[in-house]
């Protein structure tokens, strides 16, 4: 029994020893001046005190009983002796164990009924538990809480024989435990026996009283008691067990208390406040220790004198509330064991070199930054210069005047077009000519565009260029490549067109593979659509427009082989009161009007001549200019007219259309081409006439009129114009009958030699 008693009290004595050792090492004041700070072996820190003026309020008064040795402190107006007072807000007390004992006959021989009451203090509900020990026992605790409501809890402990008991087990067999609620401030224990320990077992040979005569109940620290089978008898000689109690300053929350500094309990400068359920507590700030309830009670901790509080590898320097680690001269690092520590520093030469290198690097970076700013400014200035030089203000003014128009050109930035063409990469080139390069681009809105980058621009024709941009942007014809806008921030303006996927007519005529798929139907339709565009530009557009560079490379084809006339870079607007313009000759050799080349007088008939060359390309499949032919036949126009003069038309026609096209149709188109190629422009047909006659041929082919000769009345009914039949000599000496408008017939009466 004696050994168990020592074990039962070990927790308490070890706790007291640690408290004593800790307190003996402190060198700060814990009580108010001229007040006793100890009672026996227990330190009494303020707000607790033993004498008048030494405690904060009556609840913190401690009675020091000197009748024993050493003296014992008791909480005011209680019989609870205090084992420890912690400034962290805990008290350790020793309340009595409740006992209920019986004799063999079941007569109660001992019973006590301890009652615990704390004014302003509460039982710690995490450290303490209600423990009930006995084999015929029901124990409970009844009391009040801070919530002003009563509580009651308890548990039952039974067993039939001592062998049923288990070491360190309080699961209801000989011992049970239960938690208590939070905020308990008074405690009343109750013990009851079911049979007063008179129950017998094993055929009445054994009774409970033979090994258990008492029931026990106590509210104590859970760690202070470990159950064993011997506890049933040993507890009879144990009077008290430690219980932890929480204390706090009563006065509301921290915020409320700080409004009245005279009553605010946290007096030390280096202290802080923390709220609790029943008030608040004061704590010394980090790096300080002492009593926060006293003026200047929190003192700086010299961590350098306490090895466990610093981790310096060389030297520790104390600072207010903290410390710092210092490395020896010539070493770098933070001086801490668990971090960088101290390591040998670099030499002076190395540091000088590193510093100079860093300075040079910073200088270079600053210079580069300044240069980039200057370059950006220079680039922006250049862009603005080009914008003004290329008529940007004039274009903006005209766009503003025409802002009601549903179709308007857009002014693109150079950055937009650079991004669209990958900075005008060579892989984006889709065409090149004498006047510039065409790039394929992808705008931010995923539109494919063709961007024409001109080689040069005439600074004296800026206003005319801007007018052309405005007019061309408003051309809304299905067979014209739409001008979407331009960019004026480059030396030569960039023009942005819709992108046509299927390439140019030139590619399809002069590529053997593609030429096979270019049927006579398609060729006739392309010719008709192109003629319709030129007729529109000459007669309907206001002001009229002369394209000036009609050729097969400027006629694009979409995926359905619909013609799209492009490249108005050399086009001219014709004032309404003029029929011809004096200009420097521009165009493409092989397509140029010979009279225009001689006189510099540009008229709509110049486009007619160029279109005639395209018609001959469609018929013959040959290039407009070829040095493989004799000198007099290098020009396709001369070559074709000579073939007509020699009655060799069908010998020069493209093999891909000889079998498909009817001889009458081919002959009619050939004669129409001849009329377009007449040297004297006044003798040439107008584009309106050419367009109507080509459309007539298409309609005739569509209605299969080439199978029988329609009479003049039917022709006039369907085509709204006179059609005549006339004979053309074939290469074999035979004759073919061609159907055409009377205007064609009238021109064909002219001698062949008049062509060239």
List residues with catalytic annotation: 549
Take residue 394 and report the two structure tokens written for it: 């004039």
Q: What are the Cα distances from residue 48, in Å, to 59, 74, 230, 352, 731?
A: 8, 11, 39, 63, 136
How many other CB atoms are there within 10 angstroms of residue 437's CB atom? 17
Q: Is 484 helix (H, G, I), strand (E, B) or coil?
A: strand
Contacts of residue 351, defined as CB under 8 A and 6 or more positions apart, other chains included, come to none
Contacts of residue 356, defined as CB under 8 A and 6 or more positions apart, other chains included, come to none
The CA distance from 605 to 560, in Å, is 30
The CA distance from 235 to 227, in Å, is 10
The CA distance from 328 to 342, in Å, is 8
Choose among 158, 103, 155, 156: nearest CA to 135. 158
The phi and psi torsions of 164 (rounded to 5 degrees) equal -75, -15
201, β-bridge pairs: 206
The CA distance from 216 to 232, in Å, is 9
Take residue 615 and report the two structure tokens written for it: 């018609």
CA neighbours within 13 Å on the CB side: how many for 660? Answer: 15
How many other CB atoms are there within 10 angstroms of residue 2's CB atom? 8
Written in H, E and C, the secondary structure of 541-607 is CCCCEECCCCCHHHEEECCCCCEEECCCCCCEECCCCCCEEECCCCCCCCCCCHHHHHHCEEEHHHH
Dihedral sign for Cα 77, 82, 86, 92, please. Answer: negative
Length of the chain: 756
438, β-bridge pairs: 431, 452
Q: Tell me, what DSSP letter sits at residue 63?
A: E
- E strand or H helix at 243: strand 243-246
Q: Are 217 and 131 in contact (CB under 8 A)?
A: yes
Q: Tell me, what DSSP letter sits at residue 259?
A: T
The CA distance from 549 to 534, in Å, is 11
Q: Are 208 and 66 in contact (CB under 8 A)?
A: no
The CA distance from 64 to 678, in Å, is 138
CA geometry: angle at 412 spanning 410 and 413, to 5°? 155
Question: Per the annotation, does 453 bind a ligand?
Answer: yes
The CA distance from 714 to 721, in Å, is 10
Give the pairing of strands 436-442 and 410-411: unpaired
Q: In b/e form, how buried is each residue of 219-252, taking b as 16+ CB within 10 angstroms?
A: bbbeebbbbbbebbebbeebebbbbbbbbbbeee
Q: Is 389 helix (H, G, I), strand (E, B) or coil?
A: helix
Binding residues: 453
Binding residues for ATP: 453
């Amino acid at each position: 029994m004696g050994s168990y008693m020592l074990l039962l009290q070990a927790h308490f004595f070890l706790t007291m020893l640690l408290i004593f050792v800790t307190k003996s090492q402190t060198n700060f004041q814990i009580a108010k001046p001229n007040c006793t700070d100890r009672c026996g072996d227990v330190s009494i820190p303020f707000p607790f005190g033993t004498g008048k003026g030494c405690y904060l309020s009556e609840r913190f008064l401690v009675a020091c009983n000197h009748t024993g040795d050493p003296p014992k402190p008791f909480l005011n107006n209680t019989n609870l002796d205090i084992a420890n007072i912690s400034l962290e807000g805990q008290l350790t007390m020793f309340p009595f164990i409740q006992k209920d004992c019986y004799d063999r006959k079941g007569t109660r021989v001992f019973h006590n009924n301890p009652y615990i009451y704390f004014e302003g203090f509460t039982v710690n509900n995490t450290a303490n538990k209600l423990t009930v020990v006995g084999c015929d026992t029901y124990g409970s605790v009844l009391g009040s809480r801070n919530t002003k409501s009563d509580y009651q809890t308890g548990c039952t402990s039974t067993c039939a024989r001592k062998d049923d008991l288990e070491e360190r087990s309080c699961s209801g067999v000989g011992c049970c435990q239960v938690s208590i609620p939070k905020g308990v401030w008074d405690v009343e224990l109750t013990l009851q026996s079911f049979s007063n320990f008179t129950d017998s077992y094993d055929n009445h040979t054994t009774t409970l009283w033979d090994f258990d005569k008492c029931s026990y109940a106590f509210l104590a620290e859970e760690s202070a008691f470990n159950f064993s089978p011997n506890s049933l008898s040993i507890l009879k000689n144990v009077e008290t067990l430690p219980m932890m109690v929480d204390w706090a300053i009563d006065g509301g929350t921290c915020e409320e208390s700080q409004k009245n500094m005279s009553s605010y309990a946290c007096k030390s400068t280096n202290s802080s406040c923390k709220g609790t359920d029943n008030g608040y507590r004061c704590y010394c700030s980090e790096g300080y220790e002492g009593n926060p309830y006293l003026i200047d009670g929190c003192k700086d901790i010299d961590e350098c004198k306490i090895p466990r509080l610093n981790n310096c590898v060389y030297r520790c320097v104390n600072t207010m509330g903290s410390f710092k680690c210092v490395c020896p001269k010539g070493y770098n690092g933070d001086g801490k064991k668990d971090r960088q520590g101290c390591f040998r520093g670099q030499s002076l030469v190395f540091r000088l070199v590193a510093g100079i290198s860093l300075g040079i690097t910073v200088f270079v970076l600053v210079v580069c930054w300044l240069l980039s700013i200057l370059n950006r400014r220079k680039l922006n200035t250049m862009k603005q210069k080009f914008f003004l030089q290329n008529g940007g203000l004039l274009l903006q003014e005209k766009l503003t005047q025409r802002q009601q128009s549903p179709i308007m050109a857009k002014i693109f930035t150079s950055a937009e077009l650079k991004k669209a063409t990958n900075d005008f990469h060579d892989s984006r080139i889709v065409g090149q000519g004498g006047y510039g390069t065409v790039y394929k681009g992808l705008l931010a809105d995923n539109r494919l565009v063709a961007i024409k980058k001109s080689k040069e621009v005439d600074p004296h024709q800026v206003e005319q260029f801007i007018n052309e941009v405005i007019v061309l942007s408003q051309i809304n014809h299905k067979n014209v490549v739409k001008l979407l806008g331009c960019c004026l921030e480059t030396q030569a303006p960039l023009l942005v067109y819709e992108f046509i996927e299927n390439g140019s007519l030139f590619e399809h005529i002069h590529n053997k593979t593609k030429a096979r798929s270019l049927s006579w139907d398609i060729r006739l339709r392309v010719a008709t659509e192109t003629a319709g565009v030129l007729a529109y530009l000459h007669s309907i557009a206001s002001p009229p427009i002369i394209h000036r560079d009609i050729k097969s490379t400027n006629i694009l084809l979409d995926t359905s082989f619909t013609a799209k006339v492009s490249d108005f870079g050399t086009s001219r607007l014709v004032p309404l009161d003029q029929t011809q313009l004096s200009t420097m000759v521009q165009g493409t050799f092989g397509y140029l009007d010979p009279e225009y080349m001689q006189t510099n007088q540009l008229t709509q008939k110049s486009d007619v001549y160029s279109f005639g060359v395209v018609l001959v390309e469609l018929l013959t499949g040959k290039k407009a200019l070829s040095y493989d032919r004799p000198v007099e036949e290098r020009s396709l126009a001369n070559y074709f007219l000579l073939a007509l003069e020699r009655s060799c038309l069908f010998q020069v026609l493209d093999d891909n259309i000889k079998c498909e096209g009817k001889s009458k149709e081919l002959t009619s188109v050939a004669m129409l081409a001849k009329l377009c190629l007449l040297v004297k422009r006044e003798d040439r047909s107008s584009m309106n006439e050419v367009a109507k006659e080509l459309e007539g041929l298409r309609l005739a082919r569509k209605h299969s009129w080439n199978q029988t000769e329609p009479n003049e009345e039917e022709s006039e009914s369907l085509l709204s114009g006179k059609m005549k039949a006339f004979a053309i000599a074939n290469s074999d000496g035979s004759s073919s009958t061609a159907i055409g408008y009377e205007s064609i017939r009238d021109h064909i009466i002219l001698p062949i030699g008049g062509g060239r």
